[in-house]
Chains A and B, each alone.
Chain A
Amino acid sequence: MVSEAQIWRWLAEVPDPEIPVLSLVDLGVIRAVEVGKEVLVKVTPTYSGCPATAVITLDIEAKLREKGVENLRLETCISPPWTSDWIAAEAHEKLRAHGIAPPRKGQPACPRCGSANTTRLSAFGSTPCKSHYKCADCLEPFDAFKCI
């Protein structure tokens, strides 16, 4: 019998399809794992229309099947709604290293040079969860996680 902790470890190996430096566990979209007669994984979408959501459920299924989990059920839950606060603290460093400013209230710091002197170019970015900024010191444009 596989343990819940083992399932969590396997899920931590599944990268987010849009931001592969983060795992699904880092992103905070896995809300619960229950092991009984079947393995139940509860998943929440980040944004209600995020196209990655469908890929995420496929990837979870593929990973757990590969590990030999047969009786698997995925459940989508939207309540309570996902918040960027659920992105794990360690994941903030991974985002920065990847050139994406992690979510934070107020102005994001440049992930490249650390400057706080940044301006927002666009409220929306390359994925629903990000907006687009530019650093006024090193002049590099960058994506920043929206804080919701």
Chain B
Amino acid sequence: MFEFLLRMGDNTLVLGHRVSEWCGHAPVLEEDIALANIALDLIGQTRLWLGLAGEVEGQGRDADALAFRRDAWDFRNLLLVERPNRDFGHTLMRQFLFDLWHLDRLADLCRSADERVAGIAKKCVKEADYHLERSKDLIIRLGDGTDESHARMQAALEALWPYVGEMFTDDALDMEMADKGIAPLPSAQRARFGAALNGVLSQAMLTRPESDFARQGGRTGTHSEDLGHMLATMQFLQRAYPDARW
């Protein structure tokens, strides 16, 4: 259960931090505000998931301790969310792919046999719905926009595609969660995701890559170098000045 909650909370934590890196740098003011708001929602959701994780673990660690006092190999997020921001197209495509998966995942978790999980999911699902509405709209507008924006969105899709498959792979922990009725198998989402994705990509005039190759490892703690760099920034203060408060 602890590991399952880390998987949920680390996704929103890592993506939330990545998105917050745009604060003050977005191409237009409205996007800056949107990105900062989305980051805030994701960090808020992290507080709920990691808070419960700490409670379930029973070792006295709260959400802050889990966020700031674990090293990269203890993180259980998808590799997708730790991909660097690169250009605005990459950031948006990463967000769209995540939102599409996330909303569907949360909708499933609203029916979890564990009422704490269901409670958090019901809170987060409304926010995720709003995020997807925006990211879908922008993918379509930029994919079906100028030659330049189209080329950037297609390049982003191709660069991020190898990280999509990990969202739908099942392991022993997923089987256990499914048996207990806490969370359905990730693989059960694959067909729904694919159908929804195809619909958006065709409106966006983007071509779905053919390869099914999937990079994996994030959910069990094998991360890319990028996560370490991100954590070095994110965790600096608590590492250099443990228990610092203001």
Contact = CB atoms under 8 A, between A and B. Distances in A.
Contact of B122 (A47, A81, A121): A81
A79 B119 contact: yes
Interface in B14-64: 30, 33-34, 36-38, 40-45, 47-48
A124 B30 contact: yes
A15 B133 CA distance: 32
Interface residues of A, number: 22
Contacts of B38: 124
A90 B36 CA distance: 31
B25 to A, nearest CB: 16
Interface residues of B, number: 26
Contacts, number: 65
B30 A132 contact: yes
A42 to B, nearest CB: 13
Contact of A48 (B44, B130, B134): B44
B126 interface: yes
Given A45-B44, A49-B41, A148 B120 contact: no
Interface of B: 30, 33-34, 36-38, 40-45, 47-48, 115, 118-120, 122-124, 126-127, 130, 133-134
14 contacts: A45-B44, A48-B41, A49-B40, A49-B41, A49-B43, A78-B119, A79-B118, A79-B122, A121-B30, A122-B30, A123-B134, A124-B134, A128-B37, A148-B127
Interface of A: 45, 47-51, 78-83, 121-126, 128, 132, 146, 148
Given A78-B120, A81-B123, 6 more contacts: A49-B44, A49-B45, A78-B119, A79-B115, A79-B118, A125-B33
